[in-house]
Structure formats: structure tokens, C-alpha cells
Structure 1
Amino acid sequence: MGQLVRGVWTADADFPRDADGRFDRAASQFRDMHVEPVAGRYHLYVSLACPWAHRTLVARALLGLEHAIDVSIVEPVWQDNGWQFSDRYPDRLHGARYLWELYVRARADFTGRVTVPVLWDRERDTIVNNESAEILRLLHTAFAPLARTPRDLVPEPHRADIDAINARVYEAVNNGVYKCGFAGTQAAYDEAEAALFAALDELDATLAGRTWLVGDALTEADIRLFPTLVRFDAVYNIHFKCSRKRLVDYPNLLSHTVRMYRLPGVADTVDFDHIKRHYYLCHRSLNPRGIIPVTGQGAYLRLA
């Protein structure tokens, strides 16, 4: 872990927590929602390991925006300077060595965490947005004129329900697994673990007899849930102590995950090598020896 302090990279050893030991995720700081639908103008920086970045890659694939927004991928394992590029995974836009260099390029005195995804504007030479939920929404709204397979992922009749599920899933599931894994006290862990599995029970019940979470078509809610679920048994169940149940113990959530995985282009966004190497090798306070477990996600995705 590390962060920028007034434009200078500094290493720190622990995860941010409040006074009661609860994991405390910092808010994203680049929040511009104004983009022009111009092919080739914007560039997306992602990690294939990161679930927050993953949602933007899923949307980009489903919307057919690969031709319009190109991508640079960081190495899966943090080094002393955080997310980094390499000969294998170069910064295709600036040739930077570390992701933090781009944050400083965008704001010389930036203070905060250096995270993915990042949506970069070539014309303005700056970060437009680094909040994954907002980038996801931009992809299917502002960039809709460029989409080869456009989709309305927040149809107006279902907007309130989608926003409500998004909020619930973010708090208890997407961020909830991190609250379990990075809890600093037993009480903080117990609270997060109970909320996580209550939400998963509820979502599994919601999907009984249904294909999608809201309405009769794929929406943002489905895309935002998928990256957490596809990582669940390989990482969160083991590494983050989310061990009361596995994804395979939830028949409807499992079916939803497989259904999402089989959508055109989505499988290409899932890289379990990056995912497992990142979590098990980066979080040494949770896994000091850096042992990567053998997991059976191929079977539950019905690939084997």
C-alpha cells in the first residue's frame, strides 16, 4: 500500500480504518462527468485483478466500445511504488513506469490513494474520473453514440430500483468483502460479515425465478455485482474470511455469475491469474508467506 502526499509517493504499511477498526475506503477525487463522445480521445487505465476496474471493462465489452476507448493494464502485484507498468504491460499512452506518475501529471499536488480505474482525456491531458461507478455510467450514457452494441443500462422506469440495489450491493457486498478482509477488530469483522451474508441471502432470493436483478434485461446492477461474485470463491471466501458460504452454495447467484460470464466479451475480462496473484501476493499482512491456493473456479463457471 502507499499513497501520494502533496505529489510525493509515500509508502504506508496498513489499510485505512476508523477508530473502531472498520475498513474506511477513501472517496475518489476525480469526478468530472463531462466527456465528449469522440473515438480515440479517452484512455482507460485498469487492473485485471481489481473488481472496481473490472466493472468498466465488462461494460466496455458489452457496449462494443473497444474501438473507441483503448486500455492500459497495470501489473497485478504491487511493488514499493504501488501499481506499476512493465514491458509486458506498458503505459500505452505516456510510457509511465508507475500509475502515481499519471496522478501527479493530472494534479501536481495530489494527496490520496492511487487507484484504478482511471479515465484519461488525451486532449486535456488529465484524469477525467477515477470513480468506477461514474465511469461505468459514462460508458453507457455519454459514450452511447460510439457503442457498437448500445444498451440502456439504467432504463428510466427502473432507475430508482437500480440505484437502490447499487447502493445496497456497494455497501454490503462490493465493499463488504473488503470490510471483512481488512477489519481491524473482531467486532468490525463480525459486523461486516453479517451484513455481507445477509445481503447475499437477499440477492439470491431476489434472483429466484429471474434472469436479472431488476426488470427483464441486463442493467448496471448486474454488472456491478458480477466482479465481486466471480472472485468470491477464489479469493474472498479464503483470503478475506468470507467463509460462511461459498458462491456455489447460492444457486441463483451462481447461475447469475455464469450467465454474466457467458455474455459476449465478458470472459475475456476475467483473468484469474491476475486476480489471485494480486490478492495473495499484495496483502502480506493477511498472507505473510505469499502462498497462492489452488481454487476451482473453472468448475463453477462450467468451463472444465
Structure 2
Amino acid sequence: MSARGGSWHRGVAGRRASAERVAWEERSASDADPGPEKVPLLELHDVSVDYGSGRKTFRAVEGIGLSLGIGRTLALVGESGSGKTTIGKAILGVERVAGGEIRFDGEDITHASPSRRRELTAEIQVVYQDPFSSLNPARTIGQTVGEMLRPHGRPAANVVRSRVAEALERVGLPASTADRYPGGLSGGQRQRVAIARALIVEPRLIVCDEPVSALDTSVQAQVLNLLRELQRDLGVSYVFISHDLAVVRHVAHDILVLRRGRVVEYGDATRIATRPAEDYTRALLAAAPIADPVRQRERRAARALLA
């Protein structure tokens, strides 16, 4: 086990996300900021992705450039069809890149071979939007989380059980959850399982594809707090995909705003969330719901003027 993995298991493995913690809305992402990295963990240079083949192709994203440091969060934000999930799939190797370059820890992985991609799953993981559809209802949680270890050395059964228990406890679930099935868990618990499944191989980068959009607001706060906590403790980096600027401003260090496959705005999260330079970004901010009905009407009116 690596030194990083050893500290992972010797750390605060039993820590629970607590309702008594300060609400995530009131916490700035800057308290988790480790400072700029000289060598980015992830870089995209002029990346484009096409769908279709031959003459019937559609360019989903074009000319995307970004950089993500170790222990930092970059949010990809935009409406449906903006290309944010396509970028996430390109990073994961699920979508073929038509042009440009993707570098991970200095290595060009744009067209990595299938065998290299399998190796990279120990470094790059994903948490999907719907925690129910991403878990096999016929398999126990222990089987689902533990199967992530099989491509990486095939450890003994007792080692797998121990690692699964530690991963579950790391995300605030009891070890006994391993014997349960997804149908017996709440949405928030299932998403914690999905995070544990990603964490068990000790990745350096996790692509979070709308990880809280399917959850209730109160549960969203708990999961976001958990992700921030894991980042502080483990130094993991996130590409956080969302349509909601009001959510990502509290977890991201940088935000990249997309529209129709192109970059609209890119920079510091606080600056973009409070002083956006582009009308489209202002419209996204105005679209986020708030509890005050008067302010909500004002925001809707402002959004109509920007449309």
C-alpha cells in the first residue's frame, strides 16, 4: 500500500458528516485551497469532441482549455447540452477526442490504449448523478464497492472486506452497510456508497457528474460537505459538473462556464459567482432558485432581460 494510502486508512476513517457542522452555504471554498500548483494534475488543450460519423457529425465541444491543480476543484457549469458532461467523458476516456490534447500528471492520455485506461482507473474515478441507477440492485453494497479492487491486484477476500468497511466508514456509513442492497438505502446513503466506490482505489481525480442534483436540498448540503472534507483530508481533485452556479460557488476553486460546447467564462469561482463578466453567466445565476419570493421575482425579471 502506498504512503498516501496508508495515511488514508490511518486518518479519520470514522468521521461522519454532521448536521451540526456549519451549513455549506456559509462556507467559502477558499478554506480548502492549498494554493496554486506549479504542475497541474489535469490539463486540456484545445479539446474538441464530435458525435456521429462521416458527414453526419455534430461538434459537441470545441476548443476547450482548462487546468486543474492537486487538491482543487474545477466546476464545469452550463445548461443541458452545453457540453459539460461530454468534457467529463473525454477525461474519463469514454468519448473519443476529435482534436486537442488531454494530459494527466504530465502524461498525454488523449488516445491512451485500453490497457492504459484500465490502469488509469486507479487514478481517475467518477461519481454519477443518479446513485440508484449507478448501483446494481442485485448486488450487495460490499460486492459493488469491493469489485473496484479486482482490476488492481485481486486482493484476498479478507483484505477486500476490510477495505470496503474502511471506505464506507470514510464516507459516514457503518461497515454493516456492506451487507445491504441499494434498494434498502436512501438517496443520500446511495450517493455516499457511490463516493466510497470511487474512493476505495485511492484516486487522485474524481469526475463528479451532477452528484447532488438528484438529492433533496438538505441531503445535498451533507454530500457537498462530505466531498469538501474528503478533499481536505486526502488531497483529491474534483472536476465538478453542474448546471447550478449557486451550488458550485461553495465547493469550487475555479469555474468554467459553457454554452453550446464553447467556453463563455473561466476563472476564480468567487469572482465569477459574484461579479460575472458575461451576460450568459449572469443569466445562469438569475436562474438559480432562492427562498425569498420577492428576490426570486426580481431575478426572473432580470433573467428575462438577458434572454
Give your verdict on TM over 0.5. no
Query: Quick check: which has more Rg, 1 or 2?
Result: 2
* TM-score (structure 1 length as normaliser): 0.31
* TM-score (structure 2 length as normaliser): 0.31
Normalized per residue, the structure richer in strand is: 2
